[in-house]
Amino acid sequence: MYSITTPERNSDMDPDTISDNIPGFVIPRREGQPRGSMKTVEIKITGRVQGIGMRNCIRHLAGKLNIRGEVMNLPDGAVRIVATLDPILLDKFISTIYGCPRALIKDIETAEIQTRSFREFSILKTDD
């Protein structure tokens, strides 16, 4: 008979060490990237991206990936995202943004910025 210990049953189990305790189970991460490290990125999206529900779509996508940060419209017609996330999720997050309905994305620029902490992912209102 086998016994499986889950975090709910054993509060001493650290999620970062689960892969060390289960043979053959590996949590993917980039070479040289320490476990649990987060970075903050600024993402600027240009094209037809305002007035079409883009900010709501981005908030929904971020929620599905457990990304924290903020999204806002910019005066020049672009959308700006500031997000704190695991670096391994960055490419996945950006690729899902292209799936936002009614958006015609011309370009997505990303830049790493000073790490910030957010409680949730929120939409910042501007004078749209």
Q: Which residues are catalytic?
A: 55, 73
Q: Rounded to whole angstroms, how far apart are CA atoms 121 and 98? A: 19
